[in-house]
Amino acid sequence: MITWRFLALLAQVVRGKRMPNPIDTHLGKKIREARILRGMSQSDVAQGLGMSFQQVQKYESGANRIAAGRLYEVSVLLNFPVEHFYAGFGDKIGASEQPLEPRAAQAARDLSRIRNPGKRDMIVSLIQEILRDQECTPHQQVQAMAN
């Protein structure tokens, strides 16, 4: 049986270089998402950690592995628990994750800044209603509007 690991090793041999480990790629994506949600640039994170922004880029792409101590520093800087960065890895092994779009990250930041919980809930309800409408057929949508 050909496994993902075998194919990854084969690709490394063909290209003559190491492919990022899936956990490194996952951690990098989660770091990038957390950074964007906090409204920080790679330079901001780099300055906060005392490193170059290129190093942050390498962490985010999975090109460089991130040590446990450094991940802890990232979690403190971005105000996320360390567990956040591992969340979703085990159930998505081999699956491709879509990175968070900049507009979605901005919307999440804006939503988190709304102080009135009732208004936040109204916005979330509106989003859920729009998503439910998208799942309906046009005929079902007409029937729902008639009621």
- pLDDT at residue 8 greater than cutoff 70: no
Domains defined along the chain, listed by start: 4-96 (1.10.260.40)
CA nearest neighbour of 89 among 110, 71, 108: 71
CA gap 4, 6 in Å, rounded: 5
pLDDT in tens, 57-66: 999 999 899 9
CA nearest neighbour of 26 among 109, 111, 84, 104: 84
The residue to which tokens 């809930």 are assigned: 121
If you average pLDDT over every residue of the chain, what do you get?
81
So what's the pLDDT on residue 95? 47
pLDDT in tens, 74-89: 999 999 999 999 998 8
C-beta separation of 75 from 85 below 8 A: yes
pTM of the model: 0.55
